[in-house]
Structure 1
């Protein structure tokens, strides 16, 4: 009987050791997978950052000089024009006007307006502005939006559309905060 009692004790001990090793192995594999993912995605993010730097360099220095001039200008009260109110516009998701109709554009904007009253008026007219921008964006093709120059042109067109809705030059700048073309 003593021999029969020792066998279950040894098998329980063996089972506990196997379970412990399995848990330890899973923890090591999970940590390795996590760090491998971070390392791999870190390289891709760094490569994407280099690409963004190249795109910025392709944009030329003329646009940067024009923006610098705009920032140096003040309004009639002497305030620097870069101190306007920012209004966020929720993301747009539209079909592009491509022949196959399979491309989409997701675009989020921040709009810099002259003052608080202009921001209030922009918010009050938000449905009209969204309608105007949806029509503008859905008329674009992939080629119309592919290059950095065309994105800068799009920003100018958006300012023009907003000026048409608001009635006078209240919009100073438009910032593209998110753009996805698929």
Structure 2
């Protein structure tokens, strides 16, 4: 009877070793995926924002830059129940007084682009800080598309309520 129990113990140990090796592989793959996709995401907004700032800082002096305050946006979020909304007020820094005048003259296009962008987001999309930075960069990109060129330097959130 002692011999019959011995192979079962070896099989039992072998099963535990296999389970531990698989566990280490799964944890390693999960850790790599988290590092690759989640931890590298905060670097993207900074990486996207720096070229805009660096290019603008090299071409525009601070005395030429202007800040334009846009009216408050109150937009329903892409929520299945339709109960969440965002209230956002922003200031837009542009490279020159001419760009500020152009931004003010194209208010309808600007409001439309920002409303469409905000209404496509859900609460989960906007909750983390990194995603708010990404939203700022998306707004800068959309405004530059409307105005043609790199006239918008950065966007400042002066009021942000997500409910």
What's the TM-score once normalised by structure 2's chain length? 0.65
2:76 to 68, 76, 95: 95
1:166 to 142, 147, 155: 147
By relative contact order (CA 8 Å, sep 6+), the higher-ranking structure is: 2
1:145 to 126, 145, 149: 126
Gaps of 5+ in 2: 1-41
Checking the alignment, whether the CA contact within 8 Å between 1:70 and 1:81 is kept in structure 2 is no
Q: 2:20 maps to which residue?
A: none
Gaps of 5+ in 1: 1-58
**1:72 shift after superposition:** 9.1
2:93 to 109, 112, 129: 112
Count of equivalent residues: 119
Alignment of 1:176 with 2:157, yes or no, is: yes
**1:73 shift after superposition:** 3.6
1:118-133 to structure 2, matched below 5 A, reads 118-133=99-114
Structure 1: distance between partners of 2:50 and 2:129: 16
Q: Deviations over 1:123-174 (max 9, x none)?
A: 0001111011100101100011001100000001001111111111100000
Structure 1: distance between partners of 2:158 and 2:109: 21
SS in 1 for 2:71: strand
Structure 2: distance between partners of 1:97 and 1:106: 14
RMSD: 2.6
Between structure 1 and structure 2, the one with the greater Rg is: 1
